[in-house]
Structures are given as C-alpha cells and as structure tokens.
Amino acid sequence: MLVGILLLLAGNVLAFGVSGLYTPEHPMYVYPGESQEFKMVLQNRGGAVDDVSVKMEMIQGSEVLEVMGSSDMFSVPAGGETELNMKVTVPPRAQVNDVYSVNLRFTVLATGEPGTLAFTSSVGRQFNVIVAQKEILVTEEESAEFQPLLFVTLVAIAALVGVVVFFMKKMKAKKDKRK
C-alpha cells in the first residue's frame, strides 16, 4: 500500500526553486535615498513536466522592496525559469547601518482536477538591505586638475630656496676674497 502511494507521488515531481544574489549571508548595501535594481529567478527544473503558477507574498520589507512591472502571480514553464525584476529604494533620511529585512514567500499553487489530492510547496527567500555610507571618491580627472594653491606654494618654496642659495654663494665669495 505504502509503495503504491509512493509510486503515485513519484510521477508528479515538483522541482521548484528561487535563486538570487542576496541572502542572509550576503546582504544588499544601498546608500540613503538611492535605489538598486536586481533580479530573482523562479526555477521549475529537475524533470518537471508541468508549468507551475506561483504566488509571491511579501512578508517583510514592503517599505523598501518593489516588484517591477508585475503582479504577485507568476507562471514558470516546465524545465524553465522566470525572471523577476525587483527594486530596493532606501529612504533619503535612513541612517547609515540601518537594516531593512526582506522576507518573501513563493507558493506553488495546486493544480489538478477538483476533488483530487494536490500537494503544494512554498519556498522562502530572505535577505537584509543595509544602509551604506557614501564614500568620497576622487576620480583621476579630479586629481589631475590644476590646483592653484598648491602651485603657488611650490613656486614660493622654490623662490625661497633660490634666494637662500644665492645669498650663501655671495657670502662664500666674500669670505673667499678676504683670504
């Protein structure tokens, strides 16, 4: 009996997964008031024979996360994948090192005829958005720009050295004449 149930279940393998760059171990860093776009991929692989419909629930993070150009329902073809375009926007008044937790749940909706036993699964995806501090970066063009104060300082030092050398030579010449 148990073997028969397992054989029935083995014919309908669900190989759904969600992949993305950001995880709890690899958070996203975004500057205050700025946005960052990224993709998550819904996958229906591993010998899947049926397309699946997936519902996404935003459990946490709606204050910073937006799914671009789409609803919360997605279709993933058998043996294929569907890309989700996402965007994180950090509020302009966010403080450096503030953390926004993002927690998503993707549920495969049951398919089949009414009255039949159907199995569904859910996959969770979590990551943190950390507010980063803007670094002041000087580009090569900026560092190569003419800097008048530095130029004037170097010319003044060179002139002072020249005057000191001139007077030292003059004093040495007077000393040599006296001998």
pLDDT for residue 10: 46
Q: Which residues of 153-164 are buried (b: 16+ CB within 10 A; e: fewer)?
A: eeeeeeeeeeee
Residue 6 confidence (pLDDT) above 50: no
> What is the per-residue pLDDT for 4?
44
Give the three-state DSSP class for 36.
strand
Res. 122: pLDDT tops 70: yes
Which one has a higher pLDDT value, 93 or 7?
93
Percent of the chain with pLDDT over 70: 79
- Judged against a pLDDT cut of 80, whether residue 53 lies above it is answered with yes
Cβ atoms 129, 88 nearer than 8 A:
yes
- The percentage of residues in the chain with a pLDDT greater than 90, rounded to a whole number, is 47
Tokens 């000191």 correspond to what residue?
Answer: 164
The mean pLDDT of 8-34, rounded to a whole number, is 81
What value, to the nearest 5°, has the Cα angle with vertex 105 and ends 99 and 107? 175
